[in-house]
Structure 1
Amino acid sequence: MSLWSAQDAAQATGGRATSDWHASGISIDTRSLQPGDLFVALSAARDGHEFVAQAFEKGAAAALVSHHPEGVAADAPLLIVPDVMAALTALGAAGRARAKARVIAVTGSAGKTSTKEMLREMLSDFGQTHAAEASFNNHWGVPITLARLDPAADFAVIEIGMNHPGEIAPLACLAQPHLAMITTIAAAHLEAFDDLDGIAHEKASIFKGLTPGGDAVYPCDLPTSPILEAAAQQAGATLYPFGAGADLVRMHDMTQTETALVMRAQIGDTRLAVRLANSGAHFGMNALGCLAVAQALGLDLVRAAMALGRWQPPSGRGLRETITLDAVEQLHFTLIDDAFNANPASVEAALDLLASLKPARAQSGQPGRRIAILGDMLELGPQEAALHKAIGDLPAMSGVDLVHCVGPRMAALHASLPQRKRGRLVTQADDLARIVHMLVSPGDIVLVKGSKSSFVSRVVDRLRNLDVKMRNAKEK
């Protein structure tokens, strides 16, 4: 399939194509580039022009560049533009303009990527659905997602994030969503904002990008919900608030089991139940928001609820796994991989899940432990020490047996813990990863949670490597 021809891409960007070519995809990374992709030579830590020759070796159809790179054949298929980033943005705008899809944009302080994947799963039941890859939600991720959009797709889900004020509205205006959804407002990126109200105003600016007569989906039970509602009204949107106090899209109750979260909701006159496998309660409200999206789009709600039941948390975002230490003796522990990101609200939700689960009994008859491995929460500003320490006061901590802390910020929590709950305190994740085999026992439930830059995902990798099933498979 041809996604972009040289002529179409040149017209969209104002660039000059050196030859006729057709690209079936868009790539900014030679490590994941597929044959037929248009390679976009962005400049970040390294100048992307240094990798153009490698991109052609891997089968790139063409390259979007600002000049003819060294080591590239004189007749190489190029699209030459004054500014690569500006051209990528223009390509994204052209991709959006030619699309027939209903476009849904998602933002929030937590749960953006998980909710995007829930929407992908749900909407795929109703038509061809395109969604952002991984967490492609910034100034280059959103244009790439739009540039990759198949003109024939029925739905498109665009994730929009931010680190600083003023970032969301331009991306929302680029995406021009028919529907915009906010998952929640919580203490994340506080170093760039004065308070939660500031975060809410920034998140609510997603509604500025709505097409005329668009829909606004947002939580109604938060202290900052009035800010979200006012912004949606100002944008002229149709309002779809969701939550326990909502009139139209209301959470009835949630039940946490060992293997799933079961939530019951009332959408207008329709009562629905959704079973979310291996999920904690924090995913229940995200699923309710997805049902609000289904209601706004006029989709069959029962079918939408059944489709949501196929979703489960991916790696790094709450995936629950059984790690076998001894296949013969049937010794194992449970790993909860939530290592991709962290802020006070998402840490509280993860600890709530950990505290709700019952450890298995080991062969000795002794019950396993609930263990939390917590990495630094970043970008919290002047309150970071207090916010880390406050984790120790959460109700769920009474059900946690042991806490290992990773990073200088988590030292505030470690110092506040009672002696019996204090595990290891290390500066870097690698220091804990090296001894992880000493930290777990059969029957344990182990939660790993931290901001991405705390690198606690390396601890997760080492824990997975303890799995004898994985080791045996590699040996074969």
Structure 2
Amino acid sequence: MTDPLWTLEEIAAATGARMGAGVRAASGASIDTRTLEPGDLYFAIKGDVHDGHDFVPAALEKGAAAAFVSEEKAQVLKGTDRLVIVPDVLEGMRQLGRVARARTGAKIVAITGSVGKTGTKEAMRIALSRQGKTHASVASYNNHWGVPLTLARMPRDTEFGVFEIGMNHAEEILPLTRMVRPHVAVITTVEPVHIEFFRSIWGIADAKGEIFSGLEPGGTAVIGRDSPYFERLRAHALASRAGRVLTFGEAEAADIRAERIIVKPDLSVVEARVFGQPLTYRIGTPGRHIALNSLSVLAAAHAIGADLALTALALSELKPPVGRGERTVLSLKDGEALLIDESYNANPASMRAALANLGAVELSRQGRRIAVLGDMKELGETGPALHEGLAEAIEANRVDHIFAAGPLMENLVRKLPKAKISVHVPTSADLVEAVCAGVRPGDAVMVKGSLSMKMALVVKALKDRYGAGQTGQALKG
């Protein structure tokens, strides 16, 4: 029989909660009744839109071991004996998370960055899971509730833990990294993401540098050597309890250095030097930025004593997830087209990377490169110029047609030749019919925009109308 994730004694000791007589030992943890499994602890978190307390009956009906509820709401829910009553539900989850971190002997890696942190986390998870029991953040659970939830879900016998930590304001990373207490902390990149909330990009660098403050004594900081903010980030690392700083990138001085990156339509090949020793490996998804971030995975693996050869070999299994580069073949009447789903979110750096990936697609003679783009948000007063600046990447990557949505995209539309603009409309919903009608056999269609632009509507419409199959050689010929 598998040991429970949380015993009644551990829940009581961690939180000091009042527990009903029907509370059972738990096998998991959840904040969402849609994905809750029987035996999970359900945390009734109050969010910006919904109050989790409204879903407690549904959680218990689905078989939750217990529901964490606040003292304030407990009286309303007094008809059940499966309540764990605490002053604050989020703090109760944090308390369990801290105990989970304290009881494990796992080697912990924490990852942040303006771009690529989720993909790097996934690469790290895949690599380490081939070498020991690995626990990692789900999707982009990287905020004030996602990090403690991931900790609360961590089994006591975990050997490797991989945590993604995000932010859009200063001092958001500080409490999260101190909760995670990583042995290795990685910063992938510093870019003008969420710049609306900072005086300058230097402020973003400082906010990312907060991740080093949670390092365990003697831990390792991993920083991109090519970054213009390298010295700033290094200063943050040296001010922490880090025992050493490892660097990655293409610069000669980098500890883990890419000598050559080959981006193919469906994969990338990296020829690297790891502390002077040659290492060539394949990554199962295309993208120069992904290849560069894979160097940080090697650095982190080295720092925690994982096998570098096995780490590099496992990277061939990395596949782009939904909304972050997933590729599917659309079955049109007279042939096939390629859909590249980058709809999860967008910022100037990730938009340029997505356009570069579109540019790398090998087309048949009649094929066209089509970019379906929505506004990039949270850029403040720099927004218009940063949208206009995408014109260079569009031309460099031989994009034939643009379908654009949102007021900020007007700045890009004005910069491009009129022949490239298929349509510019206010919202993604207004794009759906035009894109679906405009795609032809042989085309490669990339969809990207900030999450609030709901560009996934276009992706869903294309898949619904034309089906979605495995990527292959459909565009070559």
Aligned to 1:3: 5
- The partner residue of 2:65 within 61, 66, 70 is 61
The letter of the residue matching 1:347 is: M
Partner of 2:269: 262
Structure 2 counterpart of 1:243, one-letter code: G
* 2:472 corresponding residue in structure 1: none
SS of aligned partner of 1:74: coil
Match of 2:184 among 179, 184, 191: 179
Quickly say closer, same or farther: Cα 1:155–1:396, change in 2 above 3 A.
Answer: farther
**Corresponding residue of 1:446:** 445
Structure-to-structure mapping, 1:179-198, within 5 angstroms? 179-198=184-203
Query: Contact 1:321–1:334 at 8 Å: present in 2 too?
Result: yes
Question: Does structure 2 retain, via aligned residues, the 8 Å contact 1:12–1:91?
Answer: yes
SS of structure 2 residue aligned to 1:59? coil
Shift, 1:396, TM fit: 4.7
For the Cα contact (< 8 Å) 2:265–2:286, is it kept in 1? no
Q: How does 1:143-222 map to 2 (within 5 A)?
A: 143-222=148-227
Q: Which runs of 5+ in 1 are unaligned?
A: 362-366, 471-476
Instruction: Quote the offset at 1:23 in angstroms.
Output: 0.9
Name the structure 1 match of 2:17.
15
For residues 396 and 118 of structure 1, do their structure 2 counterparts lie closer, same or farther at Cα, with a shift above 3 Å needed?
farther
Aligned to 1:123: 128
Quick one: which of 275, 282, 291 aligns to 2:289?
Answer: 282
- Check if 1:36 corresponds to 2:39: yes
TM-score (norm 2): 0.94
1:278–1:320 Cα contact (<8 Å) kept: no
Deviation at 1:244, TM superposition (A): 0.8
Matches within 5 A, 1:255-334: 255-326=262-333, 331-334=335-338
| CA deviation after TM superposition for structure 1 residue 21, in Å | 1.4
Identity percentage over the alignment?
44
C-alpha distance in 2 between matches for 1:95 and 1:173:
13
- Provide the residue aligned with 1:381 in structure 2: 380
Q: Find the aligned partners of 2:139 and 2:29 in 1 and give their Cα distance.
A: 15
Whichever residue aligns with residue 350 of structure 1, its letter is A
The match for 1:370 is 369
Q: 1:249 corresponds to which residue?
A: 256
SS of the residue aligned with 1:341? coil
- What amino acid maps onto 1:97 in structure 2? A
| Inter-CA distance 10–446: structure 2 relative to 1 (3 Å threshold) | same
5+ residue gaps, structure 2, are 470-477
Tell me which amino acid in the other structure corresponds to 1:41: A
Q: CA deviation at 1:278?
A: 3.4
TM score, norm. by length of structure 1: 0.94
Contact 1:50 1:69 (C-alpha < 8 Å) held by counterparts: no
Answer whether contact 1:341 1:452 (CA < 8 A) is retained.
Answer: yes
Report matched runs for 1:68-79 at 5 Å.
Answer: 69=74, 72=77, 74-79=79-84
1:429 is the counterpart of 2:425: no
| Paired residue secondary structure (2:465) | coil
Q: How far apart in 1 are the matches of 2:299 and 2:441? A: 42
In structure 1, C-alpha distance between the alignment counterparts of 2:32 and 2:397, rounded to whole Å: 45
Confirm or deny that 1:109 pairs with 2:114. Answer: yes
Deviation at 1:66, TM superposition (A): 1.1
What pairs with 1:386-425 in structure 2 (closer than 5 Å)?
386-394=385-393, 396-397=395-396, 399-425=398-424
Q: Residues of 2 paired with 1:323 and 1:5: CA distance?
A: 49
Counterpart code for 1:240:
L
CA contact (8 A) 1:53 1:71 kept: no
Change in Cα spacing, 1:132 to 1:242, as seen in structure 2 (3 Å) is: same
Q: CA deviation at 1:258?
A: 2.3
Is 1:340 the counterpart of 2:375 in the alignment? Answer: no
User: Counterpart of 2:192 in 1: which secondary structure?
Assistant: coil
Cα distance between partner residues in 2 of 1:247 and 1:28 = 41
**Structure 2: which amino acid aligns with 1:122?**
A
Most deviating of 84-93 and 68-77 = 68-77
User: Cα 1:416–1:334, aligned 2, differ >3 Å: closer, same or farther?
Assistant: same
